[in-house]
Structure 1
């Protein structure tokens, strides 16, 4: 037997059972007679070694292929994550900046607080803090942006780079960029305030020599709301106006938001009502202020026309002008509240005092008259209710020039307000050397002196809050903060009486259109002619304002509304005075913001509250009391004291030209004014032409 047969027979277990196709049959033989077909293959030792080597090589190739597959999948995954799932912004190039010197230590060598130390970045850029309203609404915020710059010396093809950049970001100017990239400089700015998407688009271009710098863009989500209060920033993020300028360093150094006293809800209401009134009466401008009389916090400050704070670069000078603190206007009859308070507090007047308003006053080349005057003697309350210039002028004279100047100085009318706005202006006041008799009289009814509307609001707040003068502020006070410290400028009793006087103006005087049931509004109308270019007054060109406080039984908020050069229309029966154009707007503002501020109208006990505020227009004189004579002019000899009851001088009495009566005698109670009583009858009075209530 051969070796092949030995190998087959010696290893039967290595042979597989023959398949049916491998069995041979002889022709005609039964199936059981089949014999398997056998093939003898001889495998040599070298073949076996070669086969083993191939098997090892195949295993190694499989392992290598698997490794490459894993690496490829990792690269693909990373690319997908970096470009699709979570694209990464390019790392900004570090810019060379000269480090700022560290802050000096205190004189005593004490260690500064952590907040103070953290406020210095020692040359590193920090985000500008946000500005919020008193309720946490965002008024100004900085958004991350990037500045695009390039090194032209690293450019391969400046023209092609400019073309690609302009194609990627269409708002970029291709010609400007090509011109800058063609220079031999090492640093040129190409664009500012790129959005993250624009930055990513440019970065994918792979242009050498193009870099990014991390910057910020200041945004004002509320647009026109409080635009003049907020101000704005320049291209470098530095405050240039308003709160942004006043608190520029604080906003840069401290990351905590700056919370203002402004309430954007109240601000929006005041702006809405002012805008409607401005359009209705075709005024050239308007301003409105709401202030807390207990704390001095300004809840709203509107000046129209205004602008979108996000587009301050295109705002006109008139739109940027803040009439509330920068504009200086003659306050008109709203200043009579100061004159009346001064007279009461100094003891120069009592409620039952009377003032001659029967005739005009001629002094030098000036003539003082009343608008729709009563042409009779008026009691102290009537002077305010009917807004008598003649009565206020004589009231001011009873106090005197020196005391008047001292009073106005204490009330802050001679200086800046101290509010946190850099635009706050300085009042225009006559010097002491020119403060003569005519100035004393005209200032008594709000002419001959120019102050900002916020000056008027601050002074009126002191009249209503018990006699405490507070510094107005644009910053919100913490809820648990103690009451602010103010300066007492008048007696509590004077303030109590003046609150009744202000309420009387709305219930019985020229401020009726500001009445809001349940809020017990008090106030004073004020219409002042504007000064012309040559020093005189421009006829029929007025500033109409209404100064109000509510509720007068417990004063909380002051509301000031002013229209600049309003025009009369059919609804006002030809009048453009404050009672017709400004007082109604103030009433609508009070009705809308009262519930917002947590003050609901007190309608259940309205009669009882009104009884505590009531005061007669013609108070009775206490027994044995008398009014001292008022000296006017410069008499050369003592004037004898008049009798207790003297009839008022006749209107056609002879009077020296340019002179006023030497004294104002005390008179018996005047006859009843039938016209006035009919006008003040309960219930709405019929309106017919120009015979309606005269408004001042």
Structure 2
């Protein structure tokens, strides 16, 4: 068709200026152009929306990173933010009892003198619920029992159905159980962080450790005495106990209790120079982790709470006061003839092995009751009371145990002649065993009355001791020039060095030739005193053939360092004891076994090479010679003998 016949819009156009002839041009319809513009706009808009979502998701991710990794919120703040109901301080039944304060300080660890943990706190959780937020109490209880098998499902359903905002579900669950319960996703179930006291060594020093209540506050033993310190200072509390010595003493004491069928027993090891208690065992005992369910007899600490007539162990104090007061000398002789006081008779179990008159040294070795009564009469009631009071026998023994009891002593108004005599040989009053150990230490350490302590002297005592000076054992520090020198005893001097040296020889004599022969431990040069007392029955009278048998001793006597006390309550005779239930047959052998085993642990080894020389230096005669110029007490010179009323033994010869 000719171009002229075409419409103007469809006619071929002449090329524009500069455009080559024959070149092809792209000519698009207007509808196609509009479609392309629309697609470009859509792409731009989609890109904008994508960038927007990217920014939003980036912000969320950044916020989540800060909230969970870089700067997480504290658990307490999360609880407050989620409006969790407040937890009462202590109410296992779900009653709200006041404002709750989250624990900020955990209870400090308790260790022995070598750093062995005796009590530690473990992280636990308490599970509680807000029943008002629960959907299905029965389903919640069923799920909880899957993690806590010991849970009473019926009781839990009842508690979760209460119209309350707070009920406890379980206490002291482990972190693993806490995670498992949390993963159940039960609404209205919450956790309270806490801690549980644990005693890794179980029965070791159980009565000394004591226990804590449900709120982790001490209720007995050192846990109670140092409760404030343990809850305010995270530094471990280091005790004077040595768990190695404690274990050995318990082992030997348990064997003796079983062998002699005793109803109870106790033993103590104490440093005579510092007063540190190295071991304190009371049987029967219990697992400290089960304090709340332990029977009363097991929780009873016989070492400080039990009151027992000391028996002949008290004769050591009678001899000490007589020597120190100058009313008797080692060569003076005293009658062993039975003494009749009213309807009572003071006599010895057997007298066929010693003479009717004994020197003071022989009185101690053979443990004569009438002779000890005569010595006490020479001292007199007033001076006897003063001596015992100064020695601490009238007061509670100062030790960091709330259970320490007060001794049973006669009234001063009723302290007549019969009391003087009976107390002179260890009857008529009752003392805790630790008091006997303390008095024994004073007789051999140079005459110093030290204060027993359960704290290691290696730490600063000022931060752990009460204000009462009577309850603050004095710390010691070795001198810089002699760091290995034994610490000097700190306390009031009650006995002179000279008399203390005499008493050491007398105690050694009791083991080598007297009633304590079975306490000998070769190479350790032990000395001590036996003590047998009839047990008092429930109605106040003495029980015949039911004894308290004890032995108090020290080793080594050439350089006294450790006092050891052993007591068995109501032991029975065996074939090995030949029917006897006295201390020489029962307590003394146990003492020997303990010393032989703990000596090397304490860095002390038996010296057998120099045994003869050391024993010679410690020797004292059963019948000491009377020095020139002295008139001895004895037959014909007894100040109580009416035949000597006009010629007292003090004149004309010297008595002091």
TM range (shorter): 0.7 to 0.9
1:433 has 2:413 as partner: yes
Residue deviations 1:575-620 (CA, integer Å, cap 9, x gap): 1111111111111111111111111112222221111100111111
- Is the 1:90–1:200 Cα contact (8 Å) retained in structure 2? no
- The alignment status of 1:534 with 2:514, answered yes or no, reads no
Q: Give yes or no for the alignment of 1:545 onto 2:545.
A: no
Bigger mean CA offset, 164-173 vs 269-278: 164-173
Partner Cα distance (2:509, 2:590) in 1? 19
1:584-663 map, 5 Å? 584-628=589-633, 629-631=637-639, 639-641=645-647
Q: Once the two structures are superposed, what CA deviation does each residue of 1:128-170 show, in whole Å capped at 9, x if it has no partner?
A: 1110111111000111111111111111112221121112221
Partner of residue 486 from structure 1, selected from 491, 498, 501: 491
CA distance in 2 between counterparts of 1:534 and 1:481 reads 47
Q: Summarize the Cα distance change of 1:625–1:632 in structure 2 as closer, same or farther, 3 Å threshold.
A: closer
3-state SS, counterpart of residue 169 of structure 2: strand
Question: 8 Å contact 1:129–1:258 — kept in the other structure?
Answer: yes
Deviations 1:301-339 (A, max 9, x none): 000000000001211010000000000000001111100
Alignment partner of 1:297 is 2:303 = no
For 1:348, the equivalent position in structure 2 comes to: 327
- Report if the CA contact (8 A) 2:103-2:194 is conserved: no
Question: Out of 211, 223, 230, which is 1:232 matched to?
Answer: 211
List runs of 5+ in structure 2 lacking aligned partners.
1-25, 90-99, 460-474, 478-487
Encode CA deviations 1:370-409: one digit per residue, 9 max, x unaligned: 1222352111111111111111111111111111111000
Q: 1:642 to 1:631 in 2, by over 3 A?
A: closer
Counterparts in 2 of 1:304-315, with a 5 A limit? 304-315=283-294
In structure 2, how many angstroms separate the alpha carbons of the residues matched to 1:638 and 1:494?
29
Q: Please give the per-residue CA displacement for 1:422-480, whole angstroms capped at 9, x wherever unaligned.
A: 00000100011111111111111100110000000000000010000011111111279
Counterpart Cα distance in 2 of 1:385 and 1:318: 35
Supply the distance in 1 between the matched residues of 2:78 and 2:301 (Cα, whole angstroms).
40
Equivalent in the alignment of 2:245: 266
**Is residue 369 from structure 1 mapped to residue 347 from structure 2 by the alignment?**
yes
Moved more, 267-276 or 165-174: 165-174
Tell me the C-alpha RMSD between the 2 structures: 3.7
2:264 and 2:77 map into 1 onto residues whose CA distance is 50
User: Which TM-score applies when normalising by structure 1?
Assistant: 0.76
- Match of 1:546, SS? strand
Distance of 1:92 and 1:475 partners within structure 2: 42
Q: Output aligned runs, 1:446-465, within 5 Å.
A: 446-465=426-445
Tell me whether 1:444 sits opposite 2:424 in the alignment.
yes
Post-superposition offset of 1:536: 2.0
Distance 2:78 2:340 in 1: 76
Instruction: Give me the whole-angstrom Cα distance separating, in 2, the residues matched to 1:202 and 1:623.
Output: 90
8 Å Cα contact 2:638-2:649 kept in structure 1: no
CA drift of 1:203 comes to: 0.6
- The answer to whether 1:150 aligns with 2:156 is no
- Partners of 2:425 and 2:535 in 1: CA distance: 14
Match of 1:409 among 382, 389, 398: 389
Secondary structure at the residue paired with 1:625?
Answer: coil
In structure 1, what is the equivalent of residue 370 of structure 2? 390
Give, in whole Å, the separation in 2 of the partners of 1:513 and 1:355: 26
Q: Secondary structure at the match of 1:455?
A: helix
Q: Measure how far apart 1:561 and its partner are.
A: 0.6
Counterpart-to-counterpart distance in 2, 1:134 and 1:585: 25
CA distance in 1, matches of 2:439, 2:410: 19
Is 2:316 the counterpart of 1:337?
A: yes
Give 1:194 shift. Answer: 1.0
Q: How does 1:126-205 map to 2 (within 5 A)?
A: 126-205=105-184
CA distance in 1, matches of 2:312, 2:368: 8
SS at match of 2:340: strand
**Secondary structure of 1:582's match?**
helix
Query: Structure 1 stretches of 5 or more lacking a match?
Result: 1-41, 83-87, 100-120, 645-665, 667-696
CA distance in 1, matches of 2:75, 2:298: 39
SS in 1 for 2:407: coil
- Structure 2: how far apart are the matches of 1:377 and 1:596? 43
Residue 569 to residue 363, structure 1, CA distance change in 2 (3 Å): same
Would the alpha carbon gap of residues 496 and 620 (structure 1) be closer, same or farther in structure 2, given more than 3 Å must change?
same
Change (3 A) 1:643 1:345: closer
Query: Residue 469 in 1 paired to residue 449 in 2?
Result: yes
Deviation at 1:122, TM superposition (A): 9.2
Secondary structure of residue in 2 paired with 1:468? coil
Indicate if the aligned counterparts of 1:129 and 1:141 stay in contact, CA closer than 8 A: yes
Query: Distance between the aligned counterparts of 2:148 and 2:268, measured in 1?
Result: 44
- 1:92, CA displacement in angstroms? 7.5
